[in-house]
């Protein structure tokens, strides 16, 4: 249990960040699912449009430290390869 004022504040900050990160991670996963759905449907135009927003989101979250930069790059590369393969 947090005993000092500093540790109580850190516990509050950690909880706030945890909930914010969870929301952003969920949004990221949902966006990736939108792209993958467009790919499986074979709709290249929609997949490209969704990929553009997804790539931007992945870069933004990687810059904030939510996911590693190489992970974001790998996901973007694999999604783009799937779009090209349509």
> How many separate helices (H) and strands (E) can be counted in the chain?
3, 0
Q: Domain count of the chain?
A: 1
CB neighbourhood size of 73 (10 A) = 14
Q: For the chain, what percent of residues have pLDDT higher than 70? A: 100
d(CA 35, CA 51): 6
pTM of the predicted model over 0.85: yes
Domain that holds residue 79: 5-84
pLDDT in tens, 57-84: 999 999 999 999 999 999 999 999 999 9
Q: Are 61 and 29 in contact (CB under 8 A)?
A: no
Q: Show contacts of 50-56: CB within 8 Å, 24+ apart.
A: 51/79, 51/80, 51/83, 54/79
Q: DSSP letter at 67?
A: S
pLDDT given at position 79: 98
The CATH number given to whatever domain includes residue 66 is 1.20.58.110
């Amino acid at each position: 249990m947090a005993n000092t004022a500093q540790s109580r504040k850190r516990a509050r900050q950690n909880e706030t960040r945890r909930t914010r990160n969870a929301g952003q991670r969920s949004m990221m996963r949902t966006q990736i699912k939108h792209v993958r759905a467009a790919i499986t449907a074979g709709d290249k135009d929609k997949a490209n449009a969704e990929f553009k927003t997804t790539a931007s989101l992945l870069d933004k979250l990687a810059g904030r430290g939510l996911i590693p930069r190489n992970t974001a790059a790998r996901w973007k590369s694999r999604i783009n390869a799937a779009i090209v393969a349509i």
